[in-house]
Amino acid sequence: MTLKIGVIGTGAIGRDHIRRVTKSLAGAEIIAVTDVNQQAAEAVIKEFKLNATLYKDDVDLIQDSRIEAVFITSWGQAHESSVLKAIEAKKFVFCEKPLATTAEGCMRIVEAEMAYGNPLVQVGFMRRYDSGYKKLKEAIDQNTIGEPLLMHCAHRNANVAERYSTDMAIHDTLIHEIDVLRWLINDDYVSAQVFYPRKTKHALPHLKDPQMVMLETESGVMINVEIFVNCTYGYDIQCEIVGEEGLLRLPDEAHVQVRKGGQIGKEIGMDWQERFAHAYDVEVQDFIDNVLDKGTVSGPTAWDGYIAAVTADACVKAQISGVKETIELAQCPDFYKKEKPAAKVVY
């Protein structure tokens, strides 16, 4: 039993998922691809020796009746339309972030999925599959530190390309924290505020870097996230949760300790793809397994994609206004409600 997948978009992330499915994971096969750049798509077919049809666009690909699941890895602007077509065709969807570029677009997907009546869509927030974050989540759900009160986070890149703009700090960078932090603490955001510390000399004139985002949740948890995309020293993801009974800290990656020349040191990676390589594998394998074995999807939902969009919008607004912006979410439909874990006290 092999899951038949069609891939819409064969750019960097599309190609990487094709490699993953073909060379690293079990149970799936890429049988069709499409890209606005047809030559690029063809090159990927060759590179991985895929036995795959090259379609001229997403419409044609989705119509291929052999296809059971669609990977949407085109550029963000195109996501909504492809997702809606896939839902209409009753295909399972793995859609990279963003689900849609607007909250309204996300809501249209939510409604389409609910109209269909069963979960079809998983959004590509891979951090939920990182072993560190999973262990944080587990510890919180087991009530290890009691009720969360504060979170201190940092998202640092060694550097970014010239095209990286101030709002991309929200849409491309913070977006991962937006999804994973509320998931960690089973909570939703109510406001966002953005602060600009002294700017690093390593940032180009058009870019505000670093930035400090402060998010508040319904239950009053206060979250600060440092975004620093020209920190020079490495790709560094920090997450600390302060609760009523203690504190949890996301571990640094395990690296060999070196004692040399008056220093005890270990490497810190420079590359986000390496940092989350295993999370990507687990994420996509989980998608394949759920579809194959249970005929459903798990993981981040269209609703999660909607919340990310609304929150990101408020953050961008806060970047401009300089004041605290309210985050107003629609009521979560029963369709998307997950039971909160029954907290059990663990010492």
Q: Which of residues 39-68 bind its own copies (CB under 8 A)?
A: 49
Q: Which of residues 150-189 bind its own copies (CB under 8 A)?
A: 150, 152, 154
Binding of its own copies by 115 (CB under 8 A): no
User: Which stretch of DSSP H or E encloses residue 194?
Assistant: strand 189-195
Angle (CA) 217-251-214 rounded to 5° is: 25
Binding of its own copies by 198 (CB under 8 A): yes
Site map (CB under 8 A) of its own copies, residues 264-303, x = contact: xxxxxxx-------x------x---x--------------
Binding of its own copies by 11 (CB under 8 A): no
- The distance of closest approach from Cβ of residue 73 to its own copies in the complex, given in angstroms and rounded to an integer, is 18
Please name the residues in contact with 104: beta carbons below 8 A apart, sequence gap of 6 or more: none
Which one of 46, 260, 294, 344 is in contact with its own copies (CB under 8 A)? 260
Q: Which of residues 116-135 bind its own copies (CB under 8 A)?
A: 131-132, 135
Please name the residues in contact with 12: beta carbons below 8 A apart, sequence gap of 6 or more: none
Binding of its own copies by 345 (CB under 8 A): no
Please name the residues in contact with 339: beta carbons below 8 A apart, sequence gap of 6 or more: none
For 206, half-sphere exposure in the C-beta direction (CA atoms, 13 angstrom radius) is: 10
Q: Are 5 and 68 in contact (CB under 8 A)?
A: yes
Binding of its own copies by 251 (CB under 8 A): yes
- Looking at residue 168, the DSSP 8-state letter turns out to be H
The β-bridge partners of 153 are: 225, 239
Can you tell me the distance from the alpha carbon of 170 to that of 154, in angstroms, rounded to the nearest whole number? 13
Which of residues 43 and 150 has its CB atom nearest to its own copies in the complex? 150
Radius of gyration in angstroms for the set of CA atoms belonging to the chain, rounded to a whole number? 21
- The distance of closest approach from Cβ of residue 26 to its own copies in the complex, given in angstroms and rounded to an integer, is 5
Q: Which of residues 15-44 bind its own copies (CB under 8 A)?
A: 21-27
Q: How many residues of this chain bind its own copies (CB under 8 A)?
A: 78
The β-bridge partners of 39 are: none
- The distance of closest approach from Cβ of residue 342 to its own copies in the complex, given in angstroms and rounded to an integer, is 19
Binding of its own copies by 259 (CB under 8 A): yes
